[in-house]
Chains A and B, each alone.
Chain A
Amino acid sequence: MTGAAIPAPPSREVELTIDGRQVRVPEGTTLLQACRSVGIDTPTLCYLETLTPVNVCRVCVVEVEGSRALVPACSRPVEPKMVVHTDSERVRHSRRVVFELLASSVDLSLAPARVREDMARYGASPERFGPRAARVAQPVKVDNELYVRDYSRCILCYKCVEACGADAQNTFAIAVSGRGFGATIATEFDHPLPDSACVYCGNCIGVCPTGALMFKSEHDMRAAGTWDESRQTVTETICGYCGVGCTLQLRVQDNSIVRVTSPLDHDVTSGHLCIKGRFGFQFVQNR
């Protein structure tokens, strides 16, 4: 390393109380980061380290004394002398109901195991809204050979919109359209992707937490019943195309690549890829 790098300005520390513990963190830290720094486990769905917090899912809410409503930990910066409760009755209640509302309206079966654990932790029982509770049901959109969109799994976390937009790809092919319960992620006039601005970087797939966006190969294998994670390996390597040096995680089943991801914590592209890195692997298995 060289001395020519511009040093970051020294940041001041803020002291606050979380669940009765005194916590010191740098100014500008979010409540979520502060909680994590002292090992307090806080559920999140719409939060991702590499994206601007949108604080819409509300499962990370915590109670801040003096605040009328609960506050989203993911986006709220710490303030001196804040007194925060992350496991109060109000917090537990809201988290529980939010999980129930989500699970009663969308298909969470492909969400990470963590979501099921959180639902159990908060005692969420989505079935209590009755068997006729409206669901976000619509057919899977299959309009190209690379990836599919199954919005019946979409929790509207905005991550794909952010990854397609100013937080990563700057393509702006998709946005939230409509409003209320009818709001959905869409291209303009809900045109098929090949008519849209989509450049198939698949960064939306990389950030989707519920499997609403999926490689077509994976979608087809799941439909055929051949998707078997017990037979899969994940290997990290470097993309074989251009000189940027993106890290690829190759998920392989039966000597075939079935999904390509990239680790968020890699400092070359923070998990983002282009169409060639994400989908351009087929040539090695045209054997």
Chain B
Amino acid sequence: MDLHLIPSAVPSSEERAAIDAALGTCAADRQWLLPALHAAQERAGWISEGALNYICERLSVPPADAYGVASFYALFAMAKRPRAVAHVCDDIACRVNGAEALCGALEARLGKPGEPLPGASATWLRSPCQGHCERGPVALVQIAGPNPVNTTVTAATIESILGSLAGSTFEPRATSQPPSRVRATAGQANNGEGDSWIAAPQTTVPEWRPGLRLLRRVGVVDPASLDDYRAHGGYAALRRALDVGPEGVLREITESRLLGRGGAAFPTGRKWEAVAHAAVRPHYLICNADESEPGTFKDRVLMEEDPFALIEAMTIAGYATGCETGYVYIRAEYPRATSRLAHAIERARLRGLLGDDVMGAGVRFDIQIRRGAGAYICGEETALFNSIEGKRGEPRNKPPFPVQAGLFGKPTVINSVETLANVLDIVSQGGPAFSRIGTAASSGTKLFCVSGCVERPGVYEVNFGALLGDLIEFAGGVRGGRRLQAVLLGGAAGVFVTPDELGMPLTFEGTRAQGAALGSGVVMVFDDSIDLGDIVHRIAAFFREESCGQCVPCRVGTIRQEELVHRLRAGAPMGSAAAELALLDDLAGAMRDASICGLGQTASGAIQTAMRKLGVFGATKS
């Protein structure tokens, strides 16, 4: 390629060293663009022209292309700013827990978001959901430098955020810190970035533990210890997989009737078989750990507390489908899950459980971690492919489907963390046994992320078939004994349900029958003190911010939708609320029908149901 670099833009020696360290001796290939941009951002706190130039030179990527990619991601700064930044979640779950008050306090101390006071060493920005909804409000604090800091402040206060921004500069790099063995005792209150097994309250109640499958080891096993993992049954499933062979594994998965847990509920067995039998090589495996649906945090808990289980499940998946390379694409807002997973991968490699000869069985499989950089859309599988490939995270039109032409245009298995977590029990205990759990159309157990106005927010594992009301009771019911106003089911891309619908069975078929969907398992509870108009407004803003901008219905539709909600919220509808609802329906129809991907297709569901079913903004209830 005939590269035209930015005239006379040179990187600082620090930026150059950081980029070199990230890239090592890798070939000039744009798939390394995202890691290189992270390196530059974490070293200098922004992507300078010199750093971009150097990355382009190393990877043979045109600067305009690289700029287009870098500017796509919310966590990359394209203009200089202070090295310490707090990304403060003001999304729906954290709003219920005082995020706005926190933002107000920050503004008073640090100035407007993204507008640092003169000479300030720190600034702050508003952020969409960071997947720590059980302990909001939360903030991701990033401090660039030789030992960059990435840390999540949970149950955040103005003091804890300012403390992190100011003091953490000299703390060891968060991502290289080995996971802590120290843990709180069950039920103990937890401040700041505590152990996230607290996020799964079931695991602290002895009589509930026997029913747990996906959460079985959470709170029991040391996430840093491979030996501990093996002592708790780890790697038995891979042993059995190697015994029954790839076709045997495929049969078990198919017979388990496992459906994908990422939201689309596609039969995992069919996906795996399609790739396993695809003639084109190589095949790729991707674990979608870009859990970004507002209100979702279950995958984070699994990765933080039981990382070896994910590695083992991916190894089985790779073995069964003929993949030698697996990627974990994990959102940048999960620094602890990333470091624990990276540590576990390293241990597994050292012990011959990843690499050229897995378990001495002649199987070749290894895993690379790729960090996102702040883009909800990259959880969409084809956008995720583009992101790994070093392109803008724009979804592709389907067909072709990933099993035909996915990552690098090759047959690709892509599963969410939770889907993969099910694989271990299926292989150990057999597909038919698994298929008998749950209901006829929804086999197995399901993780739900219960957040909002409940006594004990967290991840809950229940057999398919439990009722929505039961789940909320599990979580201690509406906090403070207040009246339930509404439940957001499935996240921002889901729908609102009313207190009349608590009898809804939590199955794929049961929710579908009532015009809802399980989505990513979000159950966000709002009591009667919450201004749902405010929540709806934030959802509209979320989709406008997170639209990739590629297709017209979503790019313009999401801003028109936000404008419409803004008018209603300001009490100044065009015509009447009913007229606005009719306009919203028109917009929603085109967005649902004509958008490229699920983002645009689902961007109106929550808003429409809030207005229709809950009478938000005074539109007539149907």
Contacts and interface: CB of A to CB of B under 8 A. Distances in A.
Are any A and B Cβ atoms less than 8 Å apart in their complex?
yes
Interface of A: 55-59, 61, 69-70, 72, 75-76, 90, 93-94, 96-98, 101-102, 104-105, 128-130, 132-134, 155-156, 170-183, 186-189, 191, 195-197
Interface of B: 2, 4, 6-7, 49, 52, 62-69, 71-72, 78, 375, 392, 397, 399, 544-553, 555-560, 563, 567, 574, 583, 586-587, 589-590, 592-596, 601
A174 to B, nearest CB: 5
A109 B556 CA distance: 18
Given A75-B397, A179-B548, A195-B6, A101 B563 contact: no
A172 B552 CA distance: 24
Nearest to A101: B556
B586 A56 contact: no
A175 B63 CA distance: 9
Nearest to B574: A130
Contacts of A172: 62, 64-65
Contacts of A101: 552-553, 556-557, 560, 590
B537 to A, nearest CB: 16
Among A76, A156, A179, the one with the most B-chain Cβ atoms within 10 Å of its Cβ is A179
Nearest to B566: A132
B541 to A, nearest CB: 11
Contact of B72 (A72, A170, A178): A178
A176 B68 contact: yes
Nearest to B588: A97
Contacts of B553: 58, 94, 97-98, 101
B593 A69 contact: yes
7 contacts: A55-B397, A69-B593, A75-B397, A98-B552, A171-B4, A180-B544, A183-B550
B581 to A, nearest CB: 14
B64 A98 contact: no
Given A69-B601, A176-B392, A129 B563 contact: yes
A21 to B, nearest CB: 23
A90 B583 CA distance: 16
B56 to A, nearest CB: 8
Q: Which 8 A-B pairs have the closest CB atoms?
A: A175-B68, A183-B549, A197-B4, A97-B590, A172-B62, A101-B556, A188-B63, A94-B594
Given A58-B551, A69-B592, A179-B72, 5 more contacts: A58-B552, A128-B583, A129-B583, A181-B556, A188-B64
A130 B562 CA distance: 13
A177 B67 contact: yes
Contact of A56 (B6, B552, B590): B552
B241 to A, nearest CB: 34
B68 A98 contact: no
Among B63, B66, B550, B594, the one with the most A-chain Cβ atoms within 10 Å of its Cβ is B594
Contacts, number: 162
B7 A195 contact: yes
A181 B601 contact: no
Contact of B558 (A128, A175, A180, A187): A180
Contacts of B67: 175, 177, 186-189
Contact of A104 (B69, B560, B592, B593): B560
A122 to B, nearest CB: 11
B561 to A, nearest CB: 10
Contacts of A196: 4, 64
Contacts of A188: 6, 49, 52, 63-64, 66-67
Contact of B546 (A104, A105, A171, A180): A180
B555 A72 contact: no
A69 B574 CA distance: 29
Given A132-B563, A155-B552, A180-B545, A173 B4 contact: yes
Contacts of B375: 179
Nearest to A130: B574
Contact of B6 (A174, A181, A189): A189
Given A94-B589, A101-B556, A173-B64, A179 B547 contact: yes
Contacts of B63: 187-188, 197
A179 B548 CA distance: 5
A130 B567 CA distance: 10
B158 to A, nearest CB: 30
Among B556, B559, B567, the one with the most A-chain Cβ atoms within 10 Å of its Cβ is B556
A93 B563 contact: no
Among B546, B547, B559, B589, the one with the most A-chain Cβ atoms within 10 Å of its Cβ is B559
B244 to A, nearest CB: 36
A179 B64 CA distance: 15
B222 to A, nearest CB: 40
A96 B71 CA distance: 31
A177 B68 CA distance: 4
A177 B549 CA distance: 10
A58 B66 CA distance: 26
Contacts of A70: 593-594
Contacts of A155: 552
Contacts of A72: 397
Contacts of B557: 97, 101
Contacts of B69: 175
B552 A93 contact: no
Given A181-B544, A181-B547, A183-B555, A133 B68 contact: no
Nearest to A176: B68
A61 B563 CA distance: 26
Contact of A93 (B68, B547, B589): B589
A104 B593 CA distance: 20
B89 to A, nearest CB: 19
Nearest to A199: B4
A251 to B, nearest CB: 29
A75 B397 CA distance: 9
Nearest to B49: A189
